[in-house]
Amino acid sequence: MRLTRRYRFSASHRLHSHALSDEENRRIYGKCNYPFGHGHDYVLEVSVTGPLDAATGRIVDLDTLDGLVAREIVTPLDHKNLSLEVGAFRETVPTTENLVAEIRRRLDAAWSGAFGVAGPSLERIRVEETKRNYIELA
């Protein structure tokens, strides 16, 4: 079985690569390279898989999942400038692709501590940046 839980957070960023010239950054990232950044209301989906527990009728304890996502993702990222306030993006361009990879890294690192070895598996991360743009990582 699979369960998908949805979370929301708001953050700003500037798409700018230190490996590129200012002209290249403007050409590649366009308005997203605006020096003062811009913001998004991100929608994060976390999908987990696992067997149905006969006693609870669930595949995951939602309070545990919600606490993990709040602690590792929402609280550290909500209302932050990803480019300036989140260490993972000081040298890495905070594209949605890189944001999804960072979210996965953070959840993977904390997963067994929250659920143990026999717990559910983290199957997929999906982040919607805009109504037209989302990234998934399985």
For residue 23, give the CATH number of its domain. Answer: 3.30.479.10
**Beta-carbon count within 10 A of 115 CB:** 19
Q: What does the block give as tokens for 10?
A: 């708001």
Catalytic status, residue 79: yes
Domain that holds residue 46: 2-137
Catalytic status, residue 123: no
Q: What is the pLDDT of residues 68-102, one digit of tens each?
A: 999 999 999 999 999 999 999 999 999 999 999 99
Of 32, 45, 85, 123, catalytic = 32
Of 24, 38, 79, 136, catalytic = 79
To the question of pTM greater than 0.85 for the whole model, the response is: yes
Reported confidence tier of residue 118, pLDDT bands at 50, 70, 90? confident
Residues 6+ apart with CB under 8 A from 102: 88, 89
Of 72, 102, 128, 129, catalytic = 129
Reported confidence tier of residue 117, pLDDT bands at 50, 70, 90? confident
Catalytic status, residue 91: no
Q: What type of residue is 122?
A: L
Question: What local confidence, expressed as pLDDT, does residue 33 receive?
Answer: 97
Question: What local confidence, expressed as pLDDT, does residue 76 receive?
Answer: 98
Q: How many domains would you assign to the chain?
A: 1
